[in-house]
Structure 1
Amino acid sequence: MLEQHTIGPIPESERTGSARGVFGIWLGINMLPLTVITGALATTLFALPFGVAVLALLIGNLVGGVFMALHASQGPQLGVPQMIQARGQFGTKGAALIALVAWVMFMGFYISNLVVGAQSLNGVLPAVDPVVALIAAAVVSMAITTVGLKLIKLVITVSAVVIGLLVVASFTWILVSGVPSGALSAGHFSVTSFVSVIAVGAVWQIAYAPYVSDYSRYMPSGSGARSAFWATYGGSVISSVLVLALGCLVGAVATGSDVIGGLASLTGGLSTAILLAFAGASALGNAGNVYCAVLNTLTVMETFRPGWRPSVRARLITSGVLHVIGVTVALAASDGFITSFTNFLTVLLYILVPWSSINLVDYFIIRDGHYDVAAFFTPGGGPYGTWNVAALGVYAVGLLVQIPFMVLPMYVGPVATAIGGIDLAWLVGLAVSGGLYWLVARRTLATDSNLPVTA
C-alpha cells in the first residue's frame, strides 16, 4: 500500500513507528561507499595517521550526532517534516528559504550516491555501461520511494545488516592479509588536519539534521521523543564511525586516489560481494534522500499555495522529476568527484549550522516543544507569520560571522589564517546563532500571550 501522507501532520492513530525501526534506518543510511570515500579523506587529503584519523572522526561524529538527534526528537512531538516545523522559527515563507538549502543538500547526497554506486558496480562488472548503472539505480530508488517510508525503512535496515557484516569482514581481511609496514603510522599529526577532520565528522552528522524528523514523525507523541533521540543517535553514530574507519584504513593502505578501487584490491576474494553490496545499498539508500527531497519540494510549493495539501499523486510526480534531475546532474558531474564532494561538505556545514542552532534553541529553550501545528498550514502563518525578519536576520548574522573563520580551497578567512588554518567557523556559527536568537526570541515572544516562553 502506498504511503498516504505527504507533508501534513501524522494523526496519532497512525503513529505506528518504533525506536527499533528508526535505529535500523539510521544504521543503514551510512552503510554506503560514499561513507568509505569520506573516511579516506582523513588519511589522504588531510594525511593523518590511521589511529589519529579515526579518533578525529569519532569525536566529530559524537558531537555532531547530538545536534542531529535532538532534531529527531521533534518528530514524535509535532508529527510533521522538519522543514514544516521550521515555519515556527522563520514564518511560512521565510522557512521556504531554509527548505531550499536543505533541498540542495538532499539532492547533493542523492547525486553523490549515484556516482559512487556506479563506481562500485563498475569495479565488479567493468563491462556495464556507467550510464546504464546510474539509470538502473535511479529506477530502483524510484520504485522504493513510490511505496513510501515503510518500505524505505525495511530495505535500508536489511542492507544495514548485510553491509555491516561485510565491513567487519573487510577490516578482518585487510588486517589479516598483512598491512604494509608503516602504512598505519604514515602521515603526520597536525592540529589543523586533526580539527579539520573533526569538522568532517561533525558535518557528516549535522547534514542529516534537516530530515531526521521526516523519519521519526510516525512515532507516538507520548513516549517517542526520548526514544527517537537515542535510536537516531545510536544508529547513525555507530554506522558512521564503523564505515568511516574502513575508509581511513583503505586510504592509509591503498595506493592511488581511487578509494573504491583500493577497497576492491585490498579485500581480494571478498571484493565482488562487497562492491556489489555497496552498489545495491547506494540505490536502496538513495530512496531516503529523494523521499526527503520530495517533502521539501512539496513544502516549498505549499508555501505559495497556502492550504493546499499535496496528494499521493503530487508526491509521485515530484519524485519522478527529482530522479530525472539527479541522474542528469550525476552523469555530468562524475569527473573530479572527490574534490567537489569535499568542498560540498564544508560549505554545507557553514550553511546548516545557523539554522540548526536557531531551531534547537527555539524548540527546547524558548517554546519547550509547544507549537500550534495547525498554524503551520494557515495562509498567514497564524502566530508565526509569513516572514520572521528577526529570525532570518539572526540566520544571516550566523552565516556572516563564520566568514573570517572559514577554510575553503578558494578562500581562507583572516582569523583561520592567523591560527594556522584551523577551521572553527562551525563552532562560532553555532554559538553566535543560538545565543543571538535566544536574546531576540525572548524579547519578541515575551509580549505575545499566544506563544509560550519558557526561558
Structure 2
Amino acid sequence: MTTDRAPAAPEAAPVQAAETPGTSGLMEQHTIGPIPEAERTGTARGVFGIWLGVNMLPLTVITGALATTAFALPFGWALLAVVIGNLVGGVFMALHASQGPQLGVPQMIQARGQFGTKGAALVVLVAMVMFMGFYISNLVVGAQSLHGVYSAVDPTAAIVGAAVVSMAITVIGLRLIKVIITVSAVVVGLLVLASLVWILVSGVPDGALTAGTFSGTGFVSMIAVGAVWQIAYAPYVSDYSRYMPSGSGARAAFWATYGGTLISSVLVMTLGCLVGSAAKGDDVVGGLASLTGGLSTTVLLAFAGASALGNAGNVYCATLNTLTLAETFKPGWLPGLKARLVTSGVLHVVGVVVALAATGGFLTSFTNFITVLLYVLVPWSAINLVDYFVIRDGHYNVPAFFAPGGGPYGSWNVPALVVYLVGLAVQIPFVVLPMYVGPVAAEIGGIDLAWLVGLAVSGCLYWLVARRSQQPRPDVSVAATR
C-alpha cells in the first residue's frame, strides 16, 4: 500500500540516539522514542486526573458559552447539545488514548504507520499548529480572567508571566505536568460546582434560562463544537498514556481518558452555557464575574492559575510534534533532554508573541479556529482508528517508525494521503464557516454535518483501500520492539 518503500524486515534497525535518554534525574529524559516496558509506571488514576484537569479552564467556559451566545440556544437545549457532542467526540478521542500503552510512542509518531515516515509530516504539522493554538488561546483567556479580578494588571505582563510558569513546569516534564493538572482539577472543579450553586442560590437573572430560540442549525452546530472539542485532543492523548504498561493499560487508558474528559468538559461547559445566557455581547469572563458575586475573585484567580499551569501540557505536546518533524528529515535521530528544552523554550516565546498580537475579537476568532480544526482532524482520526483497530489489530513494528525509508510502512503512503485529502474535500459542501457556507449546508438551513461526512467517508474509503493492498502485519510483536 505504500510507495518509496524500503525492503520489509522482521525488525527495523535500532534507533540511533544523538542524545541518549535515561531514567535518572528530576527532568523527563524521554521524548519521541518508545518507552521501555521497565519504565511503564503510569496509572489509570494519573491519566484520569490529567484529563479531569485539562478541561478545567476559562477556555472551556467560553466554548460552552457559544451555545447561548453565538448559537442563541435556550439553556436547556444548549446543555443537551453540549452533552451529546462531548459524549460522541469523547469516544473517538479515548480510542486514540488506548494506543499509547500498546505502542509506547507519541500519537503522531504512530501516524507513520498509516501515512509513512514522511507522509505523516503533514498531519504532524497540523497537530503542532493546533497545540500552539490552544496554548495561545489559554494565554489570552487566562490574562482576561486575571484582568477581570485586578483591572490594574497589565494583560501583557499577565501573558508573559503565564508563559514563564508554563515553561518552568514543562522543563521537568510529564510527571510534574500530571501532578499539577490533577491538583488544579480538584481545586477548579470544586470552584465550578460552587459557582453553579452560588448562581442558583443567588437567583438566575430573569429570563436568562429561556432566552434565545431553539434552532436545528444552532443545536447541531453546538453538537459539532462539543465533538471537535474532544476530537481536537486525539492527536496527543497517547502522549499522556504511553507510560502505562502494555499488558493491562489499553482498556484502562480508554476509560480513564473518556471519564476524565467527559466529566470535566460537560461540567465546565454547563457553567459556560449559563454564563453565556446572561453575558453581554462577547464578555463571557465579565458575565462570570457578575454572576458569581463575592466568589468571583477566587474563581477568576483559579481559572487564571489553571490556564498558566495547564498550558504546560499544550506546549509539551507541541514540542513532541516539533521534534517528530525534525526527526522526519533526520531519520534515526532520537532527541533527548537538551532538544526538548530548547524546542519548548522557542515555542513558548513564539506563543507569547502571537498571543500579544491576537487579543482583539478573540471569541469570534476562536469559534472559527475550532471549526476549521474539526474539518482537518476528522479524516486523520478516522484513518488512524480504522488502521489500528480494524486493519492491523494494534500490531505495528515500532522501530520501523524511526527507520530510514520507514521499513514496511514506507516513506510515503500515497493511498492513505489521497484518502485523507478526499476526506477533506467531501466536507466542503457541508461546511459552515463565517467566510463560506457549503451548498449542501445552505440547502439544509446551515446545519453543519461536515464532521459526520468526513468520518464516514474517510473511514470507509480507507478500509476499502487498505484491505486490498495492506501488507501483512509485522511478524515481530509490539512487546518485542521495546
TM normalised by structure 1 equals: 0.98
- The residue identity in structure 1 corresponding to 2:466 is A
Change (3 A) 1:385 1:409: same
Equivalents in 1 of 2:473, 2:354: separation in Å?
Answer: 46
In the alignment, which of 335, 341, 356 is matched to residue 360 of structure 2? 335
Matched position secondary structure for 2:252: helix
Change (3 A) 1:125 1:31: same
Name the residue aligned to 2:194: 169
User: Structure 2, unaligned stretches of length 5 or more?
Assistant: 1-25, 478-482
8 Å contact kept, 1:71–1:209: yes
In the alignment, which of 162, 165, 172 is matched to residue 147 of structure 1? 172
Name the residue aligned to 2:232: 207
Equivalents in 2 of 1:202, 1:350: separation in Å?
Answer: 11
In the alignment, which of 352, 357, 368 is matched to residue 377 of structure 2? 352
Cα offset, 1:257, TM superposition: 2.1
Matched position secondary structure for 2:405: coil
8 Å contact kept, 1:367–1:451: no
Matched, 1:280 2:305: yes
Matched, 1:58 2:83: yes
Name the residue aligned to 2:9: none
Matched position secondary structure for 2:229: helix
* Cα deviations by residue, 1:137-164 (Å, 9 ceiling, x for unpaired): 0000000000000000000000000000
Name the residue aligned to 2:144: 119
Name the residue aligned to 2:336: 311
- The residue identity in structure 1 corresponding to 2:357 is A
Name the residue aligned to 1:390: 415
Name the residue aligned to 2:394: 369
Equivalents in 2 of 1:139, 1:416: separation in Å?
Answer: 44
Name the residue aligned to 1:47: 72
Cα offset, 1:448, TM superposition: 7.7
- The residue identity in structure 1 corresponding to 2:31 is T
* Cα deviations by residue, 1:249-287 (Å, 9 ceiling, x for unpaired): 001123332100110111111011001000000001100
In the alignment, which of 155, 160, 181 is matched to residue 135 of structure 1? 160
8 Å contact kept, 2:97–2:241: yes
Alignment of 1:223-238 (within 5 A): 223-238=248-263
* Cα deviations by residue, 1:162-213 (Å, 9 ceiling, x for unpaired): 0000000100111111112221011111111100000000000000000000
Matched, 1:2 2:24: no
Name the residue aligned to 2:7: none
Change (3 A) 1:304 1:256: same
Name the residue aligned to 1:410: 435
Identity %: 81
Moved more, 170-179 or 338-347: 170-179
Moved more, 441-450 or 151-160: 441-450
Matched, 1:17 2:29: no
- The residue identity in structure 1 corresponding to 2:121 is A
Matched, 1:299 2:299: no
Equivalents in 2 of 1:209, 1:8: separation in Å?
Answer: 19
- The residue identity in structure 2 corresponding to 1:18 is T
Equivalents in 1 of 2:475, 2:254: separation in Å?
Answer: 28
Higher relative contact order (CA 8 A, sep 6+): 2
Cα offset, 1:128, TM superposition: 1.4
Cα offset, 1:126, TM superposition: 1.2
Equivalents in 2 of 1:271, 1:192: separation in Å?
Answer: 33
- The residue identity in structure 2 corresponding to 1:268 is G
- The residue identity in structure 2 corresponding to 1:333 is A
Cα offset, 1:447, TM superposition: 6.8
Equivalents in 2 of 1:417, 1:246: separation in Å?
Answer: 31
Bigger helix share: 1
Equivalents in 2 of 1:438, 1:130: separation in Å?
Answer: 49
Name the residue aligned to 1:222: 247
* Cα deviations by residue, 1:11-42 (Å, 9 ceiling, x for unpaired): 00000000000000000000000000111110
User: Structure 1, unaligned stretches of length 5 or more?
Assistant: none
8 Å contact kept, 2:97–2:237: yes
Task: Give the count of matched residue pairs.
Answer: 452
In the alignment, which of 215, 219, 222 is matched to residue 190 of structure 1? 215
Cα offset, 1:445, TM superposition: 1.2
Cα offset, 1:309, TM superposition: 0.5
- The residue identity in structure 2 corresponding to 1:126 is S
- The residue identity in structure 2 corresponding to 1:78 is L
TM normalised by structure 2 equals: 0.93
Matched position secondary structure for 1:180: coil
- The residue identity in structure 1 corresponding to 2:282 is S
Equivalents in 1 of 2:299, 2:115: separation in Å?
Answer: 44
Change (3 A) 1:446 1:96: closer
8 Å contact kept, 2:85–2:222: yes
Equivalents in 1 of 2:111, 2:279: separation in Å?
Answer: 44
Cα offset, 1:449, TM superposition: 7.5
Cα offset, 1:335, TM superposition: 0.3
- The residue identity in structure 2 corresponding to 1:177 is S
- The residue identity in structure 2 corresponding to 1:91 is G
Matched position secondary structure for 1:76: helix
Equivalents in 1 of 2:166, 2:332: separation in Å?
Answer: 30
- The residue identity in structure 1 corresponding to 2:262 is V
8 Å contact kept, 2:395–2:474: no
Change (3 A) 1:381 1:172: same
In the alignment, which of 287, 291, 295 is matched to residue 266 of structure 1? 291
8 Å contact kept, 1:53–1:194: yes
